[in-house]
Amino acid sequence: MGEVINIAEKKGFIKWFLEKYELQNKEAEWLLQYLASNDHILEMVHFIDNFKNLPKTILMSTKCVQMTPFKFYKNRRVTSDVEKAFLDIHNNPKEDIYIGLFFKDKSTCPEYAAVLETNVQVDTKETDALIGLQAEMILDHVLRKCRIEKLYEQIDRSLAENNRQLFFELTDELKKLQKLG
């Protein structure tokens, strides 16, 4: 995760959130209260919107939205059992916990935006894909340029050898390559 949100900010947000919204799953509310009461664990909590490819994720929904009430994901295993999530957090206090909240108007909520972090793993993968695409485009351009230079040499040779058939084949290929690039 890129930004660092301090414990006081996370604690304040959880308190505000629980006062303003009612979670669909009452045990999930208790879990949030537990997280807010433990500074060492709260330090490992990250509020995120994009939870792809993360090792340990909790998704919670309020009563004002139609989403799954509670899901806990860890290493590709999924459960809706809050107690299992609690035990995992309690037994592994040094593991990062990524929390995705679903509630009305979350996209325009300044309190949520203040604690929201970016999923660097997703951003990195998207950046890597763009870099890979750019590299492919550059490589294609260089290869096409080399092929065009080679074709000019072969065309010159076909003219010197008076080979009309080869000349026409090579110039057709050259025209096609020039249209692409």
Question: Hey, where are the domains in the chain?
Answer: 7-117, 126-180
Tokens (6 digits) for 124: 């990195």
State how far Cα 105 lies from the chain centre. Answer: 22
**Helix (H, G, I), strand (E, B), or coil: what is residue 48?**
strand
Q: How far apart are CA 34 and CA 167, in angstroms?
A: 79
Domain 7-117 in CATH 3.40.1530.30: yes
- Over its length of 181 residues, how does the chain's per-residue pLDDT go in tens digits? 446 889 999 999 999 999 999 999 999 999 999 999 999 999 999 999 887 788 999 999 999 988 889 999 998 899 999 999 999 999 999 999 999 999 998 888 999 999 999 765 545 555 566 666 667 767 777 888 899 999 999 999 999 999 999 999 999 999 888 876 6
pTM of the predicted structure, to 2 decimals: 0.65
- CB-CB neighbours of 16 under 10 Å: 15
Burial of 133 (0-12, 13-18, 19+ CB in 10 A): exposed
